[in-house]
């Protein structure tokens, strides 16, 4: 679909999101077993969630970047409940902890209920599409790695606190003129992996480089894109 002004949809990819199934090493932990009983599912079918599995996660490598599916949930809601997305002018992708990148089909409504969202994402991580069978998937595996994603879409324009100082309008204009995806980190704290930084085509900071939540960055970028696309304020 062509966008306003003859330009196609812009792309946002949420990078390194804190989304994964509970690792095998934690399946027998009391907190994990308690969660599994609560939801009536097996431990291996649970999303790792820091609010439920804080003690279980104590020995995990890079635990400060893991177990926060709520960040992706809010970011997806922030991005999809907008005129830009609803008019088919925004394509959304997200990378999960193991590196895979998934595509959200245009027009899909993200569950507002957090528990429903977690169940959907847990199913997605196991089957690589939802629904698992039949019809066009609402969300599907797009790339098995960020490298493969970059080969398809180009290196992202990275939103990074240490990037070149800029504005949301400038970043939005760059995305429209280059066709490159805008990359936004979807983890609670810490740095992007070096492998992610190396794949970026450009890197910018907004708001004077102040730390911003994932959904804060996304909302500013989406609004800037709407202005440039001429959508009603």
Q: Would the annotation count 212 as a binding residue?
A: yes
Q: Would the annotation count 99 as a binding residue?
A: no
Q: Would the annotation count 159 as a binding residue?
A: no
Q: Would the annotation count 179 as a binding residue?
A: no
Q: Would the annotation count 211 as a binding residue?
A: yes
Strands of 182-185's sheet, edge to edge?
129-130, 139-143, 101-104, 90-95, 10-15, 182-185, 157-165, 202-205
For residues 222 and 82, is the Cβ–Cβ distance under 8 A?
A: yes
Q: Would the annotation count 119 as a binding residue?
A: no
Q: Tell me how far CA of residue 123 lies from CA of 5, 113, 140, in angstroms.
A: 39, 16, 11
Q: Would the annotation count 163 as a binding residue?
A: no
How far apart are alpha carbons 69 and 202 in whole angstroms? Answer: 27
Q: Would the annotation count 207 as a binding residue?
A: yes
Q: Which residues are annotated as a binding site?
A: 185, 190, 207-212
Q: Which residues are annotated as a binding site for S-adenosyl-L-methionine?
A: 185, 190, 207-212
């Amino acid at each position: 679909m062509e966008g306003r002004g003859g330009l196609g949809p812009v792309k946002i990819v949420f990078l390194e999101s804190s989304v994964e199934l509970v690792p095998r090493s934690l399946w027998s932990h009391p907190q994990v077993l308690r969660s599994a009983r609560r939801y009536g599912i097996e431990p291996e079918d649970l999303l790792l969630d820091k609010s439920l599995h804080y003690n279980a996660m104590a020995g995990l490598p890079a635990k400060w970047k893991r177990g926060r599916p709520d960040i992706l949930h809010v970011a997806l809601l922030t991005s999809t409940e907008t005129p830009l997305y609803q008019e088919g002018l925004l394509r959304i992708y997200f990378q999960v902890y193991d590196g895979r990148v998934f595509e959200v089909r245009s027009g899909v409504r993200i569950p507002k209920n957090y528990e429903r969202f977690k169940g959907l994402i847990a199913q997605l991580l196991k089957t690589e599409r939802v629904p698992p069978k039949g019809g066009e998937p609402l969300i599907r595996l797009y790339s098995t790695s960020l490298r493969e994603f970059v080969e398809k879409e180009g290196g992202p324009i990275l939103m990074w606190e240490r990037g070149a100082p800029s504005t949301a309008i400038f970043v939005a204009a760059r995305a429209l003129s280059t066709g490159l995806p805008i990359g936004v980190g979807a983890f609670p704290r810490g740095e992007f992996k070096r492998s992610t930084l190396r794949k970026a085509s450009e890197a910018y900071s907004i708001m004077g480089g102040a730390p911003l939540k994932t959904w804060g960055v996304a909302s500013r970028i989406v609004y800037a894109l709407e202005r440039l696309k001429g959508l009603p304020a």
